[in-house]
């Protein structure tokens, strides 16, 4: 099956088996290994990417569902080599430890700030509720998102 | 992990034909892909109906709102037409996480027919109709007749849900929705209660209740609904009906909670309706 869509701003056309998951398409076929597989069943959020700016779980998405759409992965945030303000904020607050959850968290936070540029701490917690992190305890993550929101204003 | 082959139908008639040939409809995939991964089913191929215009869109009809089966939870929550259905919005806002609400659909929630289905609770309360298309004809049936049991519906081979028609409730209904579970996010209910209550001069004039996760399907405890009429929404008055509600439910024990706990939680949720009196 031939599939065309945009990933991180670049148009791509790939030939994939007709039952390919988006997660495998990104990681295996396109080499974009920043998107992680945690649970594979929608419970952890590690595989979160943005499709047309909206958060989606790549483990529960078929490749065919992004045909003609715009996919943003973590690699697309610092495409120019310059870290995105969210990435800088996560580093500054120690919102990153082992880093496995980080790409998903940052992309979910990116979608939140697009919808709501000045969220409260509770709104951040609520929006990121589908993203599990086993290291940080979440406080630093919330702080990072609030800090990035402030810097963008 | 690879999924079965997925095909994209040209139009609704093509989708009906492909479904008739054994293809399994796919929309958000948030239930289906989890089931496929667990090996719970092995359909020969999937039919991606999520982008068919005939299954999308949310609009007002005479006396109600019609919601396309493939409308996502987020689309429904933000559609102007559903402002008149606060109970629907309250329930859908509790589903999963933002990503899951962007992916999942009301049609998928209905066909999944989970006793815990948060979308089903308001549909039972509002008396929604399920509009079905098939190879021979279209038909429409009440949601309570559509859902037959856990994961079982009245869909015949080759049939698809096209849309849901939701009648507007009479003015003045107080909406209530609450689910009890073990984790805030992605909370699959251990028990849930949705209600529409009309109050006049301090007493209940009409009450509709729907409980999730406490029976093989969402349940309307109609005797308790009738017994509520004429009572004030006080904890004391509601407590008198707690036993009646606990015996109306038919819970099972599973990984998430025991039957006995579910029975008790349902009774306690009933008392929480007193919060409507101040609202
Ligand atoms: C981590 C996680 C958390 C969740 N949390 C909740 C929650 O809190 N509350 C809740 O209620 N649910 C929850 N769910 C379940 C699920 O997200 C919802 O039921 C969702 O609404 C399903 O919609 P979908 O479009 O993804 O369905 P799909 O997975 O695409 O389809 C589900 C089933 O319906 C069939 N189907 C879909 N559309 C049609 C149609 N138009 N005609 C005929 N058949 C059709 C499919 O063939 C399939 O059998 C959760 C799921 C996950 C993975
Ligand atoms: S890997 Fe997708 S949600 Fe866990
Ligand atoms: S930093 Fe390790 S899981 Fe979040």
B122-141 pLDDT, tens digit each: 999 999 999 999 999 999 99
Q: What residues contact B21, with CB distance under 8 A and at least 6 apart? A: none
> Is beta strand B147-149 parallel, antiparallel or unpaired with respect to B129-133?
unpaired
In chain A the first and final C-alpha atoms are separated, in Å, by 44
Compute the mean pLDDT over every residue in chain B, rounded to the nearest whole number. 94
> Is beta strand A70-72 parallel, antiparallel or unpaired with respect to A2-7?
parallel
Q: How many CB atoms lie within 10 A of CB B271?
A: 17
Q: Rounded CA gap, B229 and B222, in Å?
A: 11
User: Across the strands, what pairs with B181?
Assistant: none
Banded pLDDT at B183 (limits 50, 70, 90):
low
DSSP secondary structure, B35-100, as one string:
HHHTTS---SEEEE-TT-GGG--EEEETTEEEEETT-BHHHHHH-GGGGG-HHHHHHHTTSS-HHH
What number is the average pLDDT over the span A48-77?
Answer: 98
- Regarding the beta carbon of A26 and ligand 2, being less than 6 Å apart is answered no
- How far does Cα A78 stand from its chain's mean position? 12
User: Would you call B204 exposed, middle or buried from its count of C-beta atoms within 10 A (0-12, 13-18, 19+)?
Assistant: buried
Q: Rounded CA gap, B50 and B70, in Å?
A: 6
Q: Rounded CA gap, B123 and A72, in Å?
A: 35
Q: Are residues B188 and B246 in the same domain?
A: yes
Task: Please give the pLDDT value at position B188.
Answer: 64
pLDDT at B185 over 70: no
What number is the average pLDDT over the span B233-247?
Answer: 95
CATH number of A85-152: 1.10.150.120
Which ligand gives the minimal distance to the CA of B213?
A: 1
ipTM attached to this prediction: 0.96
In this prediction, what percent of chain B has a pLDDT beyond 90?
A: 87
Q: What are phi and psi of B89, to 5 degrees?
A: -65, -40
Tell me which chain B residues have a C-beta less than 8 angstroms from the C-beta of A45: 97, 99
Helix (H) or strand (E) holding B145, with range, is helix B143-146
Supply angle C-alpha B66, B70, B72, rounded to 5. 90
Q: Rounded CA gap, B198 and B276, in Å?
A: 10
pTM over 0.90: yes
Q: Are residues B256 and B179 in the same domain?
A: yes
- Regarding the beta carbon of B186 and ligand 1, being less than 6 Å apart is answered yes
Question: Which pLDDT tens digit goes with each residue over A112-144?
Answer: 999 999 999 999 999 999 999 999 999 999 999
Q: Rounded CA gap, B228 and B166, in Å?
A: 24
Q: Into how many domains does chain B fold? A: 3
What are the b/e assignments for A84-117, b being 16+ CB within 10 Å? bbbbbbbeebebbeeebbbbbbbbbbbbbbeeee
- Three-state DSSP state, B133: strand
Which ligand gives the minimal distance to the CA of A38?
A: 2
- List the structure tokens of B152: 């079982």
Residue B150: CA count within 13 A, CB half-sphere: 9
What number is the average pLDDT over the span B35-41?
Answer: 94
pLDDT at B78 over 90: yes
Q: In what order do the strands lie in the sheet with B24-26?
A: B5-7, B45-48, B24-26
Question: Which pLDDT tens digit goes with each residue over A18-57?
Answer: 899 999 999 999 999 999 999 999 999 999 999 999 999 9
Pocket test for ligand 3, best of A100, A131, A139, A144 (most atoms within 8 A of CB): A100
Ligand 3 center–CA A91 separation, angstroms: 13
Tell which CATH classification among 3.40.50.300, 3.40.50.620, 3.10.20.30, 3.90.550.10 matches the domain A2-76. Answer: 3.10.20.30
User: Across the strands, what pairs with A48?
Assistant: A57
DSSP secondary structure, B213-266, as one string:
SSSSS-B--HHHHHHHTT--S-HHHHHTTHHHHHHH------SS--HHHHHHHH
- Regarding the beta carbon of A100 and ligand 3, being less than 6 Å apart is answered yes
Mutate to test the interface with B, among A3, A18, A37 (most CBs of B within 10 A): A18
Pocket test for ligand 1, best of B112, B155, B188 (most atoms within 8 A of CB): B112
For residue B17, the enclosing domain spans 5-48
DSSP B108: H
Question: Which pLDDT tens digit goes with each residue over B138-180?
Answer: 999 999 999 999 999 999 999 999 999 999 999 999 999 999 8
**Are B7 and A111 inside 8 Å of each other by CB?**
no
Considering only alpha carbons, which residue of chain B is nearest residue A28? B1
> Is beta strand B203-212 parallel, antiparallel or unpaired with respect to B191-200?
antiparallel
Note whether A130 contacts B: Cβ–Cβ < 8 A: yes
Pocket test for ligand 1, best of B104, B105, B130, B156 (most atoms within 8 A of CB): B104
DSSP A81: S
What number is the average pLDDT over the span B100-105?
Answer: 98
Of the three residues B167, B201, B222, the one that is the final residue of a domain is B167
Q: Rounded CA gap, B32 and B24, in Å?
A: 9
Note whether A147 contacts B: Cβ–Cβ < 8 A: no
Which ligand gives the minimal distance to the CA of A46?
A: 2
User: Across the strands, what pairs with B204?
Assistant: B199
CATH number for the domain including B144? Answer: 3.30.465.10
Tell me which chain B residues have a C-beta less than 8 angstroms from the C-beta of A60: 28-30, 33-34, 103
Q: Are residues B163 and B179 in the same domain?
A: no
**Which among B73, B67, B120, B79 has a CA at the least distance from the CA of B98?**
B73
């Amino acid at each position: 099956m031939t599939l065309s869509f945009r990933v991180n701003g670049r148009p791509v056309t790939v030939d994939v088996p007709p039952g390919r998951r988006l997660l495998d398409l990104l990681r295996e076929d396109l080499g974009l290994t920043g998107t992680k597989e945690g649970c594979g069943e929608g419970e952890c959020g590690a595989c979160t990417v943005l499709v047309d700016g909206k958060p989606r779980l790549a483990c529960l998405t078929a490749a065919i569902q992004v045909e003609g759409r715009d996919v943003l992965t973590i690699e697309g945030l610092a495409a120019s080599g310059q870290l995105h303000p969210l990435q800088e904020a996560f580093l500054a607050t120690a919102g990153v430890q082992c880093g496995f959850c980080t790409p998903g968290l940052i992309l979910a936070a990116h979608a939140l700030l697009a919808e709501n540029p000045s969220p409260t701490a509770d709104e951040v917690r609520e929006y990121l509720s589908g993203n599990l992190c086993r290291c940080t305890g979440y406080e630093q993550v919330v702080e990072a998102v609030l800090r990035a929101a402030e810097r963008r204003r | 992990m690879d999924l079965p082959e997925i095909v994209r139908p040209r139009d609704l008639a093509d989708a009906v034909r492909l479904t008739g040939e054994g293809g399994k409809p796919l929309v958000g995939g948030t239930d289906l892909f989890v089931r496929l991964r667990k090996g719970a089913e092995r359909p020969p191929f999937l039919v991606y109906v999520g982008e068919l215009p005939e299954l999308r869109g949310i609009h007002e009809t005479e006396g109600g709102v019609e919601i396309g089966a493939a409308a996502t939870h987020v689309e429904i929550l933000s559609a102007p037409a559903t402002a008149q259905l606060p109970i629907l919005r309250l329930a859908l806002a509790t589903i999963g996480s933002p990503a899951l609400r962007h992916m999942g659909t009301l049609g998928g929630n209905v066909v999944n027919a989970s006793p815990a289905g948060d979308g089903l609770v308001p549909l039972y309360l509002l008396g929604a109709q399920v509009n079905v298309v098939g190879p021979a004809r279209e038909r429409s049936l009440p949601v309570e007749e559509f859902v037959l049991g856990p994961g079982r519906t009245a869909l015949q081979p080759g049939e698809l849900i096209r849309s849901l028609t939701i009648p507007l409730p009479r003015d003045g209904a107080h909406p209530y929705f609450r689910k009890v579970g073990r984790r805030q996010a992605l909370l699959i209910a251990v028990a849930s209660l949705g209600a529409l209550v009309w109050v006049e001069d301090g007493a209940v004039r009409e009450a509709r209740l729907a409980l999730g996760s406490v029976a093989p399907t969402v349940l309307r405890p109609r005797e308790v609904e009738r017994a509520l009429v004429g009572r004030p929404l006080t904890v004391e008055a509601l407590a008198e009906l707690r036993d009646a509600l606990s015996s109306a439910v038919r819970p099972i024990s599973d990984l998430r909670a025991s039957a006995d706990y579910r029975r008790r939680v349902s009774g306690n949720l009933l008392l929480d309706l007193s919060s409507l009196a101040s609202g």
